[in-house]
Amino acid sequence: MSEENNEEKKSVDFIREIINEHNKNGKYDSRVHTRFPPEPNGYLHIGHAKSICLNFGLAAEYNGRCNLRFDDTNPSKEEQEYVDSIKEDVSWLGFEWDEECYASDYYEQLYDWAVELIKKGKAYVCDLTDQEIREYRGTMGGGKEGTPPGKDSPHRDRSVEENLDLFTRMRDGEFEDGSKTLRAKIDMAHPNLNMRDPVMYRIQRAHHHRTGDKWCIYPMYDYTHGQSDSLEKITHSICTLEFENHRPLYDWYLDELDLYHPQQIEFARLNLTYTVLSKRRLLTLVMDKYVDNWDDPRMPTIAGFRRRGYTPEAIRNFCKRIGVAKADSRIDLALLEHCLRDDLNKRASRFMGVLDPLKVVITNYPEDGEDILEAVNNPEDESAGVRKVPFSRELYIEREDFMEDAPKKFFRLSVGREVRLRYAYFITCTEVIKDQAGNVVELRCTYDPETRGGDAPDGRKVKGTLHWVSAKHALKSEVRLYDRLFTVENPDAERDNWLNCLNPDSLEIKSEVFVEPAIAELKTGDFFQFERTGYFCVDKDTTAEKMVFNRSVGLKDSWAKIQNK
């Protein structure tokens, strides 16, 4: 055995441990068949990415299979748009599902099983209202004697014949929405509330995105999920922690119906600092227009990250690095950003763009002079080649790269100081032009023709290197800078106050941005780096007249750290 193999055996997460054990004892004939089971009631987010990477990753690692299954049991909240977006996002992340399944394809089978349970005396039609069901179920905590037991429904002892008749008529549409339910007959005193005669079917006249108006009764998730896994011969049914208490119920259905048992394994869902990941809250952000849409680059949705300029590679790497465990945790957003930088540093072409322009006139450069300089596209990847960058007498540099009363640690431009313009010349600032209000509006500089390309033949060094663009060659474009959507690390802890923690500065639009002409070749979705400012991508709002760029993530900025001290 190679060392590598030993290394791998050294450290596996608890899920892989369970699977290894199963493979050793032959529980599933060494089969590994997982599934990713979203409900199509919203867009996928980074938390789903964790689950996707886990389920599809497991299948790939163990030479198994992974289904994409839509748990579409609540037609009032589900839509085809969400089905489409989910498929697009899973594919974009780089995964291929073996079978595309829908819980709604099992409706007929589920119905037959419900009839079977009724015949066994294990299910009954109940006329209690939702309010009454809640009251009869009892509550958590309470008395010294333990959880107060629930009360039996008055309809609990209906005959099999009556239940069969009633359930058939429920399906036939004889009863009002919500007027009756089918319930499992388990134990109203069970310490696990999920086992106190849970609802299996409710009456709901809603148009289903796949079954249309065929049904007016719909199975509950809890009655559907376990059997769906069973039908698909799933071996390891991986889900999040909140379903742990439901596992006995899934097992109960499977046992009573004498069906194949997958092994359910629960793990802790992903939480991210400065982010909300609950579907309900994301829906609020979109519907109430706190963000533009599901793919707003500030959204933690897969679509949002894609538009923001995140790569599938970065997200997959992130999911690998956060691991999987049962302890609740909240991952530092900085780790996600690190994964993006790590990927893009190796792959993104560099360009120059000035976000906050300050005009510079090179006084000793010919009026109509022009020069074409050569720039390296990616210092981390020689195969990326070089490009041409035009230079002329009037340039733009970044406003923050000039300071009048510059401290020693400021390596950039100031009157009398010499810096390098990247891939161009050394320049020295000679004069500051201000408007009547005293704002710096222009810099006069001289250049040293001997330093063409960026090195001085006499060997002298400069501390700073600035990015720049030639004024007459520059393309005017728009840049959108993003910051965290929330001002607090854990918006969830704010309860109903969470919307008050939205970061008012999460979006900053720079509409007077000047970029080098080579940028024009880029297409929507392409990623690149603006040297010294960050990684960007071309937004879909780009038009023939104006390009629009999203900043995906900034570069690490040690100057900012020095300033903050």
The set of catalytic residues is 39, 269, 279
Taking CB under 7 A as the criterion, which residues in 338-367 touch RNA? Answer: 338, 341-342, 345, 350
Q: Which of residues 418-457 bind RNA (CB under 7 A)?
A: 420, 422-423, 453-455
Shortest Å, Cβ 545 to RNA: 28
Asked whether position 512 contacts RNA by CB under 7 A, the answer is no
Answer for which of 80, 91, 109, 179 binds RNA (CB under 7 A) is 179
Q: Does 370 bind RNA (CB under 7 A)?
A: no
Residue selected from 96, 157, 255, 332 as contacting RNA according to rule CB under 7 A = 332
**Cβ pair 149, 137 in contact under 8 A:** no
From 166-174, 428-436, 502-510, 524-532, span contacting RNA (CB under 7 A): 524-532
What is the DSSP secondary-structure string of 376-424? Answer: ES-TT-GGG-EEEEEEESEEEEEGGGB-SS--TT--SB-BT-EEEETTS
Tokens in use for 152?
A: 């039996």
How many residues lie near RNA (CB under 7 A)? 93
**Nearest distance from residue 437's CB to RNA, in Å?**
26
Among the listed ranges 50-58, 257-265, 326-334, 536-544, the one in contact with RNA (CB under 7 A) is 326-334
CB of 178 to RNA, least distance (A): 4
Segment 19 to 48, residues that bind RNA, using CB under 7 A: 39, 41
What residues contact residue 412 under an 8 Å CB cut-off, 6+ apart?
401, 402, 403, 406, 419, 464, 466
Kindly state the smallest distance separating residue 198's Cβ from RNA, in Å: 7
Considering only residues 2, 7, 24, 144, which one is a binding residue for RNA as defined by CB under 7 A?
A: 144
Q: What are phi and psi for residue 221, nearest 5 degrees?
A: -55, -45
* Residues 233-272, mask of contacts with RNA (x by CB under 7 A): --------xxxxxx---------------------x----
Single residue of 60, 193, 384, 499 touching RNA by CB under 7 A: 193
Spatial contact of 535 and 529, defined as CB atoms under 8 Å apart: yes
Span of 10-18, 93-101, 363-371, 480-488 interacting with RNA by CB under 7 A:
10-18
Taking alpha carbons only, the member of 261, 305, 279 closest to residue 77 is 279
Of residues 357, 427, 361, the one with CA closest to residue 399: 357
Residue 154 is a binding residue for RNA (CB under 7 A): no
Select from 202, 298, 387, 480 the one that contacts RNA (CB under 7 A): 202
Give the whole-angstrom CA distance, residue 426 versus residue 454: 7
User: Which residue stretch of 171-179, 291-299, 358-366, 431-439 sits at the interface with RNA (rule: CB under 7 A)?
Assistant: 171-179
Distance CA 226, CA 253 (A): 8
Q: Read off φ and ψ for residue 550, nearest 5 degrees.
A: -105, 135
In angstroms, the CA 66 to CA 88 distance is 16
Of 422 and 551, CB closest to RNA: 422
Does residue 61 belong to the site contacting RNA (CB under 7 A)? no
**Residue 17 in tokens:** 């441990």
Q: What is the DSSP string of 210-255?
A: TTBTS-SEEE-HHHHHHHHHHHTT-SEEEEEGGGGGGHHHHHHHHH
Minimum separation from the CB atom of position 29 to RNA (A): 23
Query: Between residues 106 and 296, which has the closer beta carbon with respect to RNA?
Result: 106
